[in-house]
Amino acid sequence: MHQATKVKTAKNIAVIALISASYSVLGTASGLLVGPALRGYPAHFFRGLLMSMAAAYSRWMWSTALMGVISGLVFLVLVPAPAPYLLASTLAAGLVYDAVVAVGGSYAASARRRGRILSAATLSGLAESVVALAILTYLGFFQVPAPVLAIIWAGAIAANLVLSVAGSSVTILILRRYA
């Protein structure tokens, strides 16, 4: 590996770690500030924003999966209540984001395309929601009848999708302005 490649790789990892830490702190702080009714929802906006920024900045395959691992581990430490779903759901979001960006072409080029950013944010939000809700449902967190559970799932998934797209749209605006 050439010295310039090593430096770029180290720089990408450092930036992804910084973005991951920002996501973890912003997601946790906003969740605590808005109260129990909306806890966790602002984090979807920040994930959409920062995950798309990590991919667009680094243009590096597995950048958002790495962000998912780092953020998930930090969430395990920061979140006061036991939250076993956080690592799995953020990793799923990162893996899906990377997979969508990588499909059918160069990851480096696709990571900055508007349509690919929106598609990746949408599908990664879906993956994050499904994994988190499946774990919470399996653990018995929702003690409600099936029709109510379906409404909870639909509402949570819809909110995640909208907020993920909103966050990634900010990245698109930044890219349009500065890239």
Domains of the chain by residue range:
3-178
Residue 177 identity (one-letter amino acid)? R
Please tell me the predicted confidence (pLDDT) of residue 100.
98
**Higher-scoring residue by pLDDT: 34, 137:** 137
- Dump pLDDT digits (tens) for 44-94: 999 999 999 999 999 999 999 999 999 999 888 877 676 778 899 999 999
Q: Is the pLDDT of residue 25 over 90?
A: no
Please tell me the predicted confidence (pLDDT) of residue 36.
65
Please tell me the predicted confidence (pLDDT) of residue 133.
96
Which CATH class name applies to 3-178?
Answer: mainly alpha
Q: Rounded to two decimals, what is the model's pTM?
A: 0.91
- Dump pLDDT digits (tens) for 108-161: 999 999 999 999 999 999 999 999 999 999 999 999 999 999 999 999 999 999
- Residue 53: C-alpha distances to residues 1, 16, 142 (Å): 26, 9, 34
How far apart (Å, rounded) are the C-alpha atoms in residues 11 and 24? 20
